[in-house]
Structure 1
Amino acid sequence: MERIIEDVREDLSRRIAVAAHRLADLTLAEDPAYAALLGRAELRERIHHNLRQAVEGLVRGSRGLPVDLADARATGTLRAEQGLPLASLLHTYRRGGRLLWQTLTETVAAHDRAALPRLLPSATLLWDVLDQMTDAVTDSYRRTEAARTDLDRERRAALLDILLDGAAATDGPAASEAAAQLGLPERGRFAVVVVAGTGAAGSTSERAGTPGSAPRVLWRIRADGECGLVELGHHPLESVRELLAPLGARAGVSPVVGAPAELAGARRLAALALRTAPGSGGPRTALLDEGLPAALVAAQGELAARLRQVVLGPVLALPAEDRRTLLTTLGTWLTCQGSTTYAAQRLYCHRNTVSNRLRRLEQLTGRSLADPRHVVELALAHAAVYQLAAADPATPPCPPTPAGTARRSPRPPG
């Protein structure tokens, strides 16, 4: 093989140069990715160099020497950094291999057609050389691409932190600049989601359905759970609940804000909303504005503890079964907007049973359910007991208010 190539080297070099011209023109005409990245002269020179490298690899292989793959690896790294699709790069490499074999056989035939049979066994060696070059290009490309992906992920996380924490480094971008780099508008409709635990929603990946079918969400894993920056667009805030439902995790959702600079405050409100989300039964996603009284209790831990003791202390001192019965009845009655009839239906008991339980609760607490101020105190104290039980499994349980949409009583509660 080496002798054959040496005999035709000058003519082969000339023909390879012509082949490089043809392949460069064909590539630029058929592949927009290459056309957008390289000029004709640069691409032709690169192809010409690769073809010569393949010929030298064939010669080295015939001597039992390893193929020099440094240029192939450098090419893979460079094209990955430039953003050329790997499919485009490999297609040109494979096409170049076929063109090289065609050029080699034509050159040998023109020099000495009788030498062609001696060339054929070299086909396997040539394809082995080309496979090694292609593998080197692919491996280098993927390594570089993976490193770029990791870097992009870290950069994206840092930008999200600027928005969600509201404190940029002195030499880092401001909130507006961070938002722009994440593709967020200066003004819009945004919200923040905080999900309990990690691994439920993903990392900093962007998740959305078909364009326009769901809000865009940028996820970020944080020490207090996963955060999602939601670009609502025209979608209502309630659509976030549907988006989170498949995760099956407790979550809190902030109110809508209009600018990236307000997202840090929104994150704090979402974390507060999470503390009001039920641990089980019914929707597990809490929208802050749907539970402001419970959020108020969650935000004031010391006062909440005092509220539990002052308002419901006598009830909490009862045996577990009595305590559970009265607290469940109170929560159900509140959910049913003060209707003992609907509360009885929910609790599967007689209306008089509900009335008797509520009367006993009034006696224990010294508060009347006919007094709106007392009802507010009882409702807030009930929320405080539930939140304590949800946060501390060792605390005697207080069942959550039964799920479902409350129905308004057609007559005054009795």
Structure 2
Amino acid sequence: MGALGLIERNQTHREVVGMAARRLSDDTPELAARLLKRIRAHCPAAARLVPEAEQFESVKLGLSYGLATIPEPGPERRELVQAARTGRRRAAQGVPLDEVVKSYHLSVQLVWDELVRIVREDSPQRLDLLMRSSMHIWAGIERQADVAAEAYREAQADQVRFADERARLLLGELLETNAPEQPLIDAVRDTLGLEETGSYAVAVTRYARLRRGARQPDTMAGARVVWSAGTDGDIAVVALRGDGLGKVAEALEAAVQGPVGLSPAVTGLTSLAFARRLAETALAGRRPDQRGVVALDDHLLRSFVKAAPDLAELLRRQIMTDVLALPSHESTALLDTLACWLEVGSTAEAARRLYCHRNTVLNRLRRLEQVTGRKLDEPRDVVLLALALESVKSR
């Protein structure tokens, strides 16, 4: 092995390197001040974010523990414990990781220069031995840098998890609050980066689960999606772009297996609780055999009946009692004709779909008006007939 090759730690090594390290540790405060000056000059973010007195104490401790381990690392490895503590603390303070690592590089440069100076002054004939021990010394401080970086990354990951959990909790609170106060709105806006007056839709996945291999999507049809944990399932808040609600429904179909309630578009963060209730209403109003996305806009009548069952039953009794008392074949024909006519809005088209003559449709509709006492040319009566019909179908 050449003159600068790595040697094993032995008694001679410990004497030479240990003597120099002990001499250097006697001047730890002065050395720490010099190192701190270099760090704050080369690491501007750290100089801005870390109080100088705190950074000085950290540097002094690191040097003290590190110099003590240069001759022979002890079992406690206090220098590594201090490095991990420093890494976590700098992550919390927002110091960039490259500056944290750079501070250790500056440290090893300064320590090495001082060790060389001391050995050259006191035992120049042993300088070759120090040179051949250089790898031990440099590797020791690099190990501290690695430990600090690892602790830094772990602390950052914890911060992200904490921030994500806090954001979910804030969003969950907003989704449950009918009249949210401004501080809650501000917190959700700032934490999640959502526009206070933006356009949103809410999807409730209470009875659904993600398709195999799928993850909760962060975007759907180009719209950002933020998820919150509900009581019985996850809730998605979709920041809409334009009139993309239909495309969002398609994206939900692709990502989620099972029924999902989808609200209409609402405006502003203050309306999210309202949108959540509408999504749950849509979900509650689905047909028993219905799967996939249930958009409230497409099931308003059924959702209304489910949301107000007593009023729906009242309409059924007031309007449909006499119709239901007719012979089964007649009542079925009248109700089916009414349902088809309401759907297509045309007598001719209803006749085509029902495979009968247009006059047959007209006769059935007149008969329905006679039995119910309602007029199909009166908008108010049409609404009541539609609700009463949905109430019959929902029983």
Paired position in structure 1 for 2:170: 159
Q: What TM-score, normalized by structure 2, do the two folds share?
A: 0.66
CA distance in 2, matches of 1:97, 1:302: 79
Give the direction of change, closer, same or farther, for the CA distance of 1:199–1:370 in structure 2 (3 Å limit): closer
Paired position in structure 1 for 2:244: 239
Paired position in structure 2 for 1:12: 24
1:52 is aligned to 2:57: no
Q: How does 1:325-344 map to 2 (within 5 A)?
A: 334-338=342-346, 340-341=348-349
In terms of fraction of residues, the more helix-rich structure is 2
1:221, distance to aligned residue in structure 2 (A): 1.0
CA distance in 1, matches of 2:288, 2:41: 60
Q: What TM-score, normalized by structure 1, do the two folds share?
A: 0.63
Give the direction of change, closer, same or farther, for the CA distance of 1:56–1:12 in structure 2 (3 Å limit): same
Paired position in structure 2 for 1:115: 126
Q: How does 1:150-299 map to 2 (within 5 A)?
A: 150-166=161-177, 175-183=181-189, 188-189=197-198, 191=200, 193-197=202-206, 200=210, 207=218, 214=223, 217-229=225-237, 235-236=241-242, 238-243=243-248, 245-248=250-253, 249=256, 250-254=260-264, 256-258=266-268, 260=270, 262-276=271-285, 284=293, 286-288=295-297, 291-299=299-307
Moved more, 92-101 or 371-380: 371-380
1:361, distance to aligned residue in structure 2 (A): 9.5
Give the direction of change, closer, same or farther, for the CA distance of 1:16–1:276 in structure 2 (3 Å limit): same
1:125 is aligned to 2:136: yes
What SS does the aligned partner of 1:271 have? helix
Percent identical among aligned pairs is 27
1:363, distance to aligned residue in structure 2 (A): 7.8
What SS does the aligned partner of 1:59 have? coil
CA distance in 2, matches of 1:387, 1:139: 60
AA aligned to 1:179 is I
AA aligned to 2:171 is L
Contact persistence 1:163–1:175 (CA under 8 A): no
CA distance in 1, matches of 2:96, 2:347: 65
> What is the number of equivalent residue pairs in this alignment?
361
Unaligned runs of 5+ in 2: 1-12
CA distance in 2, matches of 1:246, 1:49: 55
1:299, distance to aligned residue in structure 2 (A): 0.9
Deviations 1:114-156 (A, max 9, x none): 3234235544433553355345434544554455445444443
CA distance in 2, matches of 1:89, 1:182: 32
CA distance in 1, matches of 2:127, 2:362: 103
1:253, distance to aligned residue in structure 2 (A): 1.6
Unaligned runs of 5+ in 1: 169-173, 389-414
Deviations 1:349-390 (A, max 9, x none): x964899799889989967996667754564356557767xx
Give the direction of change, closer, same or farther, for the CA distance of 1:364–1:105 in structure 2 (3 Å limit): farther
Q: Which has the larger radius of gyration?
A: 2
Give the direction of change, closer, same or farther, for the CA distance of 1:360–1:133 in structure 2 (3 Å limit): farther
